[in-house]
């Protein structure tokens, strides 16, 4: 299902159910390619977050190491957020948010040129990322999760945020 930000999609499973449970394909290169999405998976990462309210992000990799991501919550629940960083588009600096849970089994496809972050809505939430590019520490960047210029509404007050994520500069002086 497309989002208001071109190229970003909420991915819904299409389960085939019987008395044992269900089976569903969560990723298919051919289906992604047919919709113009990047079907490359260079690495997969898992993030375990012990406390409700943990906030990670907003992270991205600078060119030429931009990455597309397929993000799924495999345990617990998260409020997943993306921010369009693409220059020259009317949606630059706009965000999109959606709830991903182990129960709803949705995923968010994040195209290249977007920052990504999430806040956990339950203790012990686990997130699985399929990523199109290898991690390049020298290209790692971030936006402040609480930047007033972005106006993102996070669902829980007083988040648990790393020192690194708190230290990213605000956009206002750059805009």
- For 107-145, the pLDDT digits (tens) are 999 999 999 999 999 999 999 999 999 999 999 999 999
Backbone angles phi, psi at 100, to 5 degrees: -115, 130
Nearest to residue 37, comparing CAs of 46, 28, 25? 28
What is the helix, strand, coil percentage profile of the chain, to 5? 10, 40, 50
Tell me the three state secondary structure of residue 45. strand
Torsion of CA 54, 172, 92, 105, to 10 degrees: 10
Provide the percentage of residues in the chain whose pLDDT is more than 90. 94
- The superfamily CATH assigns to domain 9-170 is Jelly Rolls (2.60.120.10)
Count CB atoms within 10 A of the CB of residue 5.
21
The pLDDT value given to residue 167: 97
Beta bridge partners of 131: 43, 69
Q: How confident is the model at residue 159 (pLDDT cuts 50, 70, 90)?
A: very high
Q: What is the mean pLDDT of residues 43-58?
A: 97
Q: Average pLDDT over the chain, rounded to whole?
A: 95
CB 112 within 8 A of CB 146: no
Q: How far apart (Å, rounded) are the C-alpha atoms in residues 81 and 152?
A: 8
Q: Specify whether 129 is catalytic.
A: yes
Q: Which of these is catalytic: 60, 109, 129, 168?
A: 129
The whole-model pTM stands at: 0.94
Q: How far apart (Å, rounded) are the C-alpha atoms in residues 66 and 72?
A: 19
């Amino acid at each position: 299902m497309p989002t208001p930000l071109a190229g970003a999609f909420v991915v819904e499973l299409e389960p085939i159910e019987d008395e044992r449970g269900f089976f569903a394909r969560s990723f298919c290169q051919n289906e992604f390619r047919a919709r113009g999405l990047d079907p490359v998976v260079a690495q997969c990462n898992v993030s375990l977050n012990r406390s409700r309210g943990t906030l990670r992000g907003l992270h991205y990799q600078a060119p030429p190491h931009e990455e597309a991501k397929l993000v799924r919550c495999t345990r617990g629940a998260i409020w997943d957020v993306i921010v369009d960083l693409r220059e020259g588009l009317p949606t630059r600096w706009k965000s999109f948010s959606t709830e991903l849970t182990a129960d709803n089994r949705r995923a968010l496809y994040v195209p290249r040129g977007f920052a990504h972050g999430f806040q956990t809505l339950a203790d012990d939430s686990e997130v699985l990322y399929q990523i199109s590019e290898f991690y390049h520490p020298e290209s790692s960047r971030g936006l402040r999760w609480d930047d007033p210029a972005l106006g993102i509404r996070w669902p829980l007050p007083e988040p648990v945020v790393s020192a690194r994520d708190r230290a990213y500069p605000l956009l206002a002086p750059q805009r």
